[in-house]
């Protein structure tokens, strides 16, 4: 059985309902389907636009599912019905590429027709990529010399595959002209809502966000990234130093102190730490302090000055700058987002 047998919101259905759509502005939304897509991602985007069709007002969304050749897509979780082939994308107002999870490179290799269709889209067509859907857009060349984002865990792979794209994994949402890229799973909802706002208006997207029980934008992806230095490595001495930093981050720790811990020179420490962890020892120490401060902001009622002192940053102003640099938000904004009932 087709997964989407119950659809009543595609173009054909809407065309048959013309009398009911008098005075409505119908936005055509093309959804790219291929065997590598994340079914959860597809479900999220379909829900956003179906919910949009439940809102009162002038705007409606006609969903058109498109595969490379117009045939049903044989997905591991069931056959996916489509409305036509990749040539339909050029007639859309918005094209959405769902997440491809870890199969981005495979999807590009096996769906050259979809990549070409994205490359030749008219400039006025909005394009949204959810998570690793960015692979398809990067392969088309349209992200060359532009910023883009994807799930933070997969950003290094995307950057290596497409060095001409400036991958910014800290961002939840990036718009470059009519191209919109989003980060991890739920960020795809943010991207679809952003596209809805561009197609409609602020009131419509706010009403839709309320129906979806979400915010219009949840902030940068840095809020959800793991602590700095999460990368695995085989340098036992550096791992021992990381444990020492985790236990003593609130104390003054200089490069000389850290080098003494593993009996090497400061120069050797910096070289080995960077090779193993991907950042300098001081960057790692700062990251640990900010991670601990995030925990305190979520659970304690300390002032920012008290909190900064507790994590080893007695200069409140410098702490605030560092916190915003690493998280994209001020400490007060982070506390408000994580604990909305707490007055700052």
Task: Please give the pLDDT value at position 186.
Answer: 84
Alpha-carbon distance 75 to 34, whole Å? 8
Please state the φ and ψ torsions of residue 311, each to the nearest 5 degrees.
-100, 10
Give this prediction's pTM.
0.70
Q: Are 181 and 95 in contact (CB under 8 A)?
A: no
Task: Please give the pLDDT value at position 161.
Answer: 97
Alpha-carbon distance 216 to 79, whole Å? 32
Task: Please give the pLDDT value at position 10.
Answer: 58
The pLDDT averaged over each successive group of 10 residues in the chain (344 residues) is 42 51 84 97 95 93 97 95 97 97 96 98 97 97 96 91 93 93 90 94 91 75 58 85 93 95 95 89 92 89 93 94 88 80 40
Alpha-carbon distance 269 to 258, whole Å? 8
Alpha-carbon distance 135 to 166, whole Å? 13
Enter the tokens of residue 163: 């060095």
Task: Please give the pLDDT value at position 5.
Answer: 35
Q: Are 75 and 37 in contact (CB under 8 A)?
A: yes
Domains of the chain with bracketed CATH: 11-223 (3.40.50.880), 236-338 (1.10.10.60)
CB neighbourhood size of 334 (10 A): 22
**C-alpha atoms less than 13 angstroms from C-alpha of 164 in its C-beta half-sphere:** 10
Counting other chains too, the contacts that 331-337 makes at CB distance below 8 Å and 24 or more residues apart are 331/293, 331/297, 331/304, 331/307, 332/304, 334/223, 334/294, 334/297, 335/297, 335/298, 337/219, 337/223
Task: Please give the pLDDT value at position 1.
Answer: 35
Helix (H) or strand (E) run with residue 297 in it: helix 281-299
Alpha-carbon distance 216 to 161, whole Å? 31
Judging by DSSP bridges, how do beta strands 94-97 and 126-129 pair with one another? parallel
Alpha-carbon distance 318 to 315, whole Å? 5
**Sign, CA torsion 251/253/258/261:** negative
Alpha-carbon distance 211 to 189, whole Å? 12
In degrees, rounded to 5, the angle at the alpha carbon of residue 90 between the alpha carbons of residues 86 and 95 is 80
Q: Are 141 and 166 in contact (CB under 8 A)?
A: no
Enter the tokens of residue 188: 């795809």
Judging by DSSP bridges, how do beta strands 166-167 and 25-32 pair with one another? unpaired
Q: DSSP 3-state assignment of 72?
A: coil
The DSSP call for residue 111 is -
């Amino acid at each position: 059985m087709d997964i989407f047998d119950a659809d009543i919101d595609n173009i054909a259905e809407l065309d048959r309902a013309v009398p009911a759509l008098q005075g409505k502005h119908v936005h055509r939304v093309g959804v790219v389907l291929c065997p590598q897509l994340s079914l959860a991602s597809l479900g999220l985007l379909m829900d956003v636009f179906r919910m949009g069709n439940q809102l009162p007002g002038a705007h409606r969304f006609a969903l058109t599912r498109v595969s490379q050749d117009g045939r049903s897509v044989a997905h591991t979780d069931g056959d996916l019905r489509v409305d036509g082939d990749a040539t339909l994308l050029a007639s859309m107002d918005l094209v959405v590429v769902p997440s491809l999870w870890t199969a981005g490179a495979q999807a590009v290799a096996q769906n050259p027709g979809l990549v070409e269709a994205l490359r030749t889209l008219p400039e006025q067509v909005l394009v949204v990529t959810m998570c690793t859907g960015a692979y398809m857009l990067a392969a088309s060349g349209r992200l060359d010399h532009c910023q883009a984002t994807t799930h933070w865990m997969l950003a290094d792979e995307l950057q290596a595959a497409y060095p001409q794209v400036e991958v910014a994994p800290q961002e939840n949402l990036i718009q470059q002209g009519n191209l919109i890229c989003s980060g991890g799973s739920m960020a795809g909802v943010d991207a679809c809502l952003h596209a809805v706002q561009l197609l409609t208006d602020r009131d419509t997207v706010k009403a839709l966000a309320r129906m979806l029980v979400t915010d219009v934008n949840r902030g940068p992806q840095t809020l959800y990234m793991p602590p700095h230095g999460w990368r695995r490595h085989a340098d036992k001495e550096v791992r021992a130093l990381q444990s020492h930093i985790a236990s003593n981050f609130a104390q003054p720790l200089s490069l000389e102190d850290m080098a003494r811990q593993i009996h090497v020179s400061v120069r050797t420490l910096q070289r080995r730490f960077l090779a193993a962890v991907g950042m300098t020892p001081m960057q790692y120490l700062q990251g640990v302090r900010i991670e601990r401060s995030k925990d305190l902001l979520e659970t304690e009622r300390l002032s920012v000055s008290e909190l900064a002192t507790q994590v080893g940053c007695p200069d409140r102003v410098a702490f605030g700058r560092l916190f915003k640099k690493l998280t994209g938000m001020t400490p007060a904004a982070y506390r408000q987002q994580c604990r909305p009932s707490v007055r700052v």
